[in-house]
Amino acid sequence: MTPVLSLLPGPLIIAALALLAVRGRILSRLAALVMAGQCVAAAIEWFPRLGNPMDAPIERGFGTDSHGALFVLLTTLVVTAAFVHAVSFFDREAQSEHPPVSRQIGQFYFFAPLFLIAMYAVVLADNLGYMWIGMEATTLLSAPLVYFHRSARSLEATWKYVIICSVGIAFGFFGTAVLFAASQQSGALAQGSLSLSALTAHASQLPPGMVRLAFVFLLLGYGTKAGLFPLHNWLPDAHSEAPAPASAILSGSLLNCALVALWRISDLARAAGQDLVVRETLLPMAVATVIAAALFLLRQKDVKRMLAYSSMENVGIMATAIGLGTWNGFALQAINHSLCKVAVFLLAGNLLQQFGTKNIHELRGLLRAQPGRTMLLLLAITAVAGTPPFGSFLAEWRILSVAADGGLFWVVAALAASLALAFIALAMQSLEMALGAPPEAAETCTRTKFALSLVLVPAVLLLGSLILGTMLPASLLALVGGLR
C-alpha cells in the first residue's frame, strides 16, 4: 500500500461504523481507538518522510514531500486528540438538558473522518485541481459538524460558512484555470498542466501577467478559507457554534489546510519571479488580519467567539510568515497554534458544558469552582497568546526576526503592537472568568466527577508546546524545513 493510500483505512472504518448506526457510546469509543491506531500508523509511515526533499515522488497527483508529511502528522494528531476527548464530551452531552440524539452523534462520526480525508488531500496535493476539490470538500464535509446542535444560530453559522467559503473557492477555481492557461503558453507544458512540481520547474516560462492574476484570485479564494481579513466573517460563527471537538478540528487543522495551499501557491509565484507581488498583496492582508483580530478581541463577550478571533489572529501571523517566505516560522507557528488552540477549545468546552453558558460575564469565579481545570485553561490561553516559555513565542520571534532582517519595520511594528493588544484582551477576558465569586450553579459543579481524558488530552498538548519552546533541538528545526 502506498503512503498516501495508507491514510485512508482508519477514517473509512470510522465512517462505516457510523453508517451502520453503531450506538453512540460504543461508536465514540471505537472511533477514538481507531484514530489512536491511525495516529501511530501515520507516525510510523510519515515521520521518516519529514526529511524528504521537495522533489519527492508524486503518487497520482499527491506528493510525499516534507511539507506535506509535517501537516499529515499534525492533522492526524489534532483529530486524534479531538476524538479521544469526544468520548467523555459526548457522554456529558447525553446528560445535559437537551441531549443530542444518536443520529446527531452518528452524523458527527460519519462526516468528521471524511473531513479528515479531505484535509489530507489538500495538504498532500501536487495537482492544483485536486487541491481545489479537496478544499471544497472540506467545506461540504465540515458544515454538518457546525450544524451539530440543530439550533437557529448553528443553522445561520452553517449557511454563512458554506456560502462565504464557496464564493471564495469560486475565486480559487478561476485562479486555478488561469494557471492552467498560463502553462499552455510555456514551451515545455504546451498541453497544459496543473502539477505544482511541473509548473514550478518551468515557472520562468510562464507569462508573468497571468501568474500575477492567478495568484491574486487564489489568494482571495484560499484566503477566504483561511479567515484572512476582510474575508473572515464565517470564522467566528462557525467556531463558536460547533461542539468543542469540532471547533478544535476547525481551528487546529482546517485553517492550516488553507494556509498550506497559500504557501504552495506563493512558492510557485516566487519561482516565476513574482516575489514582489506576493509581498505587496499577502503581507498587508496578513498584517491587517492580526490588527483586526486584536481589535475584535477587545469587545468579545462570548468565550468561543473570543477563541475564534484568537485563531484569526494566529492565521494572520502564519500568513505573514508565508508572505515573508519563512517556512520555518510558518511551520513552527502552525504546530504550536494547533497544539495550544486545540487544548483551549477542549478545556473551554468542558467548562461551558458544565456551566451551560458561553457568556464571559456569567462565567465568573471559575478559579474557585474548578481550580485545576481553570489553571490549565489559563495556561493554554497564555500559550496561545505567544507568551514564553511556550513554543508559540519562539515561532513569533522567528517571524519578527525575518521581517526585521528584511527591513520591513512596518510589519514588525504593526505585529508587535497587535500582539501586545491581543495579549491584553485575552488576559482581561480570561481573568474576568477566573476571578470573582462563582455562580450559584458552580457550587454543585465542584462536586461533579469528570473523566480523566477531559484534562489529560489538553495537558499533553500543552506539554508538547512547552517542550517546543524550551527544548527545541536543531534536528527538529531541520525537519520542519531548516532556517529559511
Say how far apart CA 210 and CA 178 lie, in whole Å. Answer: 7
* Amino acid 447: pLDDT: 45
Say how far apart CA 306 and CA 455 lie, in whole Å. Answer: 21
Domain borders along the chain are 274-484
Say how far apart CA 190 and CA 181 lie, in whole Å. Answer: 10
* Amino acid 112: pLDDT: 95
* Amino acid 483: pLDDT: 41
**Which is it for the CA torsion 461, 466, 471, 475, positive or negative?**
positive
Contacts within 8 Å (CB) and 24+ apart, 441-449: 441/355, 441/356, 442/355, 442/365, 442/366, 442/368, 442/369, 442/370, 443/369, 445/354, 445/355, 445/369, 445/370, 446/369, 446/370, 448/354
* Amino acid 167: pLDDT: 93
Angle at 80 between CA 74 and CA 83, to 5 degrees: 145
Say how far apart CA 112 and CA 10 lie, in whole Å. Answer: 12
Nine-digit cell string for 417: 503592537
Residues contacting residue 218 through CB under 8 Å, at least 6 positions apart: 171, 172, 175, 176, 179, 261, 262, 265
* Amino acid 446: pLDDT: 47
Which segments in the chain show pLDDT lower than 50? 443-448, 482-484
Say how far apart CA 112 and CA 91 lie, in whole Å. Answer: 18
- Residue 153 CB neighbour total at 10 angstroms: 11
Say how far apart CA 173 and CA 190 lie, in whole Å. Answer: 21
